[in-house]
Amino acid sequence: MPKSLHEWLTHLESLHPKTIALGLERVAEVKQRLHLDPAFPIIVVGGTNGKGSVCAMLEAMLHAAGYRVGCYTSPHLLAYNERVRIAKRQASDAELCASFEQIERVRGDIALTYFEFGTLAAMQCFIAHEVEVAILEVGLGGRLDAVNVFDSDCAVVTSIAIDHTDYLGNTREQIAFEKAGIFRADKVAVFGDVDMPEAIATQAQKIGAQLWRLGKQFSFKAGELQWDYQGKTKRSSLPFPALRGAFQLNNASTVLAVLEALKERLPVSMAAVRRGLMEVELPGRFQVVPGKPVLILDVAHNPHAARSLARTLNSMPPCPKTYAVCAMLKDKDMAGVVRELVWQVDVWLVAGIAAPRGATADELSHVVQQELVDGEVLTFATVTEALHHACKEAGENDRIVAFGSFYTVAEAMRAKSA
């Protein structure tokens, strides 16, 4: 068997002929063989954008309240261990390898995908560490995602936008149906956006889930320095989340709705809510790197996320020039992303991604030039080269924004720290 975490991850990538193979039969069978039957509450978080922010805020508030929290997210930026956290500590290589080995011993001839293997391993770690609550982020869709093999005590869908059309459908209604598959009968299902597709309500009613929708069952009101949450109960004079972005109050309100739904099992004080809001961290989501010129890292990879990025950039003090370091996967709506940001960018530094689905610099440059109204477009083989050029050319009062995918942000992080 593999020994190191790197060897295990290489092995996992080779087990299934497809990177993505939706369906619960394989992972459910291995789950049963492993006797993975958690007794602690489970919160499952799905949606197109905002999943990571909601998971991070839930983790921060529940941790501040004194609970031992297990949090499983994906993808990672720099190290696989980021995906599995217990009490806000990343799982060690040894812990992950031990879990992978147990799964390997029982799976027999069942070919699990990389994500399915990782999901089972995360739950093994949570059970071994006797966590008091687990937060599971959906990888893709919801209904057929490996995370959905575990029954949630509260399910969240953050937002619905067009993405992953090869797997989820071409319309918001089709995508919403897939994401609503994480709802459970007689449990609260939270929808974290005011623009709700009908399929969300239809699925909740069909299975008997209690649907709580932003703008209906819960809401928020923002002031200049503080904000208020209103649900069945009210939480007033809250600090703004440490995470920056146009939709973070939507996400924070969604988190408070989840805590309200689970308050009998997981009571959380106002002090813990405030502390969680102030201390929450999430790399790569409008992450501002200290220094001059300012560097902003954002994983925005679809038009909905790009629109939020554009709004947040527009809310910042004006600067002489904005440099965009952009690299994307070719199966994303590259034109839609560029269209949302074209008015915020003066110089486009377009790079390629060395991954199976990565767009080349020339492919992305062609898209940018088709959408460009004004400005300059330069191409680079790598994100590292593009970022180095931006740092060299930008004045200290300019800003650099690196975005387009997790690959883009991860490479920018490595280049900046080198």
pLDDT in tens, 322-336: 999 999 999 999 999
Q: Which residues of 21-50 are buried (b: 16+ CB within 10 A; e: fewer)?
A: bbebebbebbbebbebeeebbbbbbbbbbb
pLDDT in tens, 64-86: 999 999 999 999 999 999 999 99
Q: Give the CATH fold of the 287-417 domain.
A: Protein-Tyrosine Phosphatase; Chain A (3.90.190)
Q: Which residues of 279-303 are buried (b: 16+ CB within 10 A; e: fewer)?
A: ebebbbbbbeeeeebbbbbbbbbbb
> Other CB atoms closer than 10 Å to residue 332's CB: what's the count?
19
Instruction: Take residue 153 and report the two structure tokens written for it.
Output: 């005590």
In this structure, of 18-32, 241-255, 368-382, 396-410, the range with the lowest mean pLDDT score is 18-32
The pLDDT of residue 372 is 86
Domain ranges in the chain?
5-279, 287-417
The pLDDT of residue 416 is 87
pLDDT in tens, 139-164: 988 899 999 999 999 999 999 987 66
- Distances from the Cα of 124 to the Cα of 31, 109, 366, angstroms: 10, 20, 46
The pLDDT of residue 207 is 97
Nearest to 51 by CA among 189, 255, 228, 203: 255
Q: In the structure, what pLDDT confidence band is assigned to residue 165 with cuts at 50, 70 and 90?
A: low
Q: Once rounded to an integer, what is the mean pLDDT over residues 43-60? A: 96
The overall average pLDDT reported for the chain is 94
Angle between helices 334-341 and 361-371 (to 10 degrees): 50
From CA 390, how far away is CA 346, in angstroms rounded? 12
Q: Give the CATH fold of the 5-279 domain.
A: UDP-N-acetylmuramoyl-L-alanine:D-glutamate ligase (3.40.1190)
The pLDDT of residue 375 is 80
Q: Which residues of 373-383 are buried (b: 16+ CB within 10 A; e: fewer)?
A: eebebbbbebb
The pLDDT of residue 18 is 64
Pair 361, 380: CB distance under 8 Å: yes
Residue 212 has pLDDT above 80, yes or no: yes
